[in-house]
Amino acid sequence: MNPTERHVPVLFKEAIEFLNVSPSGTYVDCTLGLAGHAEGIARRLGPKGHLVGFDRDPEALALAKARLDRVCEELGSQAPKVTLIGEAFSTIARHLEAASVNGLLADFGVSSLQFDEAYRGFSFQADGPLDMRMDTRSGPDAAQVVNEVSERELADLIYEYGEERRSRRIARAIVRGRPVMSTGQLARIVAQAAPAMKQDRIHPATRTFQALRIYVNSELDEIKALLEAAPKLLKPSARLAVISFHSLEDRIAKDSLREGARQGIWEILTRKPVTAGEEEMDRNPRSRSAKLRAAERTAISL
Ligand SMILES: C[S@@+](CC[C@H](N)C(=O)[O-])C[C@H]1O[C@@H](n2cnc3c(N)ncnc32)[C@H](O)[C@@H]1O
């Protein structure tokens, strides 16, 4: 099966509703992935509309392009303009003019394509090389981090980005186990150093893998840069919708929107984050940790 077909976008209906798509507007999907949300936006746009999509993963970008090409072919003369950009979304202000955007969506984290393919190295469920880079064209991969940074740095990053209390013990075991070259080897080292406790519902390596992934991809800095750039790019009454998957991401979104609201830049539309309903959680386990926050840009100029 084509990966775009088995993929289920998280909080799809809710995210699209918050964007309030107007057929002739410009909408940005900062995290195309397999283009589930992007297809929803494209189908609500008309020929005067413009969909701009980002993904820094070349493989995801190619699949998103193929899917959106099919949608546009089907829509024929009613299809919107589509522009795809294979760069990190932190570069957004270089690609779009101030006050030119009607809606912006970001669905953070890893796509099912990245997670499910062992060779991408994101998952401990299947053995693969320790890569974890979303942008496979550049930057150090997880193997370099695991094998080259000091034990102290490793412990700090596992603590900070994985919220892992047993980070020192885990870092010590990793350093002793070097060279660590595969996801399976790393998962075993972590599980031995910090075995699952009775109350744990997650695999003992989950937090360490999350930490490495966030570090390798500078994920939190990316989110901060995007949320800083967004107010300038959005028109008055334009909407922002962001979906996060763990507390570190959600905290950045919550704090940034609250601070913006205090300055009169945002009107917050979700006093509490929107979460998936029972039915979606049953259908798509990934949606269990998803939190959607949305805001509307006020008319205040920057
Ligand atoms: C959760 S998936 C998005 C799924 C998408 N909403 C869909 O419906 O298929 C996140 C995607 O965003 C991309 N991504 C994550 N951080 C990024 C960043 N800073 N810049 C550009 N793309 C990023 C990842 O490569 C991944 O493909």
Cut 0.85: pTM above it: yes
Residue 13 has pLDDT above 70, yes or no: yes
Q: Is 213 in the pocket of ligand 1 (CB under 6 A)?
A: no
Closest residue by CA, ligand 1 atom 4: 33
Tell me the residue type at 94. R
pLDDT by residue (tens digit) across 59-79?
999 999 999 999 999 999 999
Q: Is 128 in the pocket of ligand 1 (CB under 6 A)?
A: no
Residue 2's pLDDT band (boundaries 50, 70, 90)? low
Report d(CA 272, CA 218) in Å as an integer. Answer: 27
Q: How far is the CA of 229 from the centre of ligand 1 (A)?
A: 18
Number of neighbours of residue 284 by Cβ within 10 angstroms: 18
Q: Is 241 in the pocket of ligand 1 (CB under 6 A)?
A: no
Q: How far apart are the first and last CA of the chain?
A: 47
Report d(CA 48, CA 169) in Å as an integer. Answer: 57
Q: How far is the CA of 107 from the centre of ligand 1 (A)?
A: 6
The answer to whether residues 272 and 291 touch, using CB atoms and an 8 Å cutoff, is no
Average pLDDT of the chain, as a whole number: 96
